[in-house]
């Protein structure tokens, strides 16, 4: 378990490599910037998945880009079909049973690790996403 937690932290700090695309806002310059934000959201997705493409379009809209930027949330879209180390590690850690799955993590300073806060499955609209992200 500790190994998975360490791997998760390292992956987040490395900004997930090529398989995990930043969906909204500016790129994070380093690991301390990621931790300073205190929250990260990962969307498990695939190019062939219709609901994934729909949710991706919602999150890439100007409205949502602005919202995520204002709230200081880091939002990544991870392609589950990529067979690189980062994708495999994230899939093993979060264990999404279907896609799209969106998972919100929060940095726990006392424990020095990222903890899962909540998740949902399926495509949602911008209104739902704003409510879900702010809680």
Average of per-residue pLDDT across 77-92: 81
CB of 98 within 8 A of CB of 104? no
Report whether pLDDT(58) > 90. yes
Q: Do the bridges between strand 74-79 and strand 20-22 make them parallel or antiparallel, or are there none, so unpaired?
A: antiparallel
pLDDT-derived band at 94, boundaries 50, 70, 90: confident
Q: What is the mean pLDDT of the chain?
A: 78
Percent of the chain at pLDDT above 70? 72
CB of 94 within 8 A of CB of 60? no
pTM: 0.71
Sort residue 95 into left (φ over 0), alpha (ψ -120 to 50) or beta: left
Instruction: Report which DSSP code applies to 114.
Output: E
Average of per-residue pLDDT across 24-49: 67
**Which domains, from first to last, does the chain contain?**
2-134 (3.40.30.10)
Three state DSSP letters for 9-39: HHHHHCCCHHHEEECCCCCCCCHHHHHHHCE
């Amino acid at each position: 378990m500790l190994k998975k937690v360490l791997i998760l932290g390292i992956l987040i700090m490395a900004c997930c490599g090529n398989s995990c695309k930043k969906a909204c806002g500016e790129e994070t310059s380093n690991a301390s910037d990621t931790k300073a934000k205190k929250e990260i959201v990962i969307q498990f997705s695939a190019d062939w998945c219709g609901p994934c493409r729909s949710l991706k379009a919602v999150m890439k809209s100007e409205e949502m880009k602005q919202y995520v930027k204002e709230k200081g949330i880091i939002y990544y879209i991870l392609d589950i079909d990529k067979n690189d180390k980062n994708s495999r590690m994230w899939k093993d850690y979060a264990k999404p049973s279907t896609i799209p799955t969106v998972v919100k993590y929060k940095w726990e300073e006392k424990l020095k690790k990222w903890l899962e806060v909540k998740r949902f499955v399926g495509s949602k609209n911008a209104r739902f996403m704003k409510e879900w992200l702010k809680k």
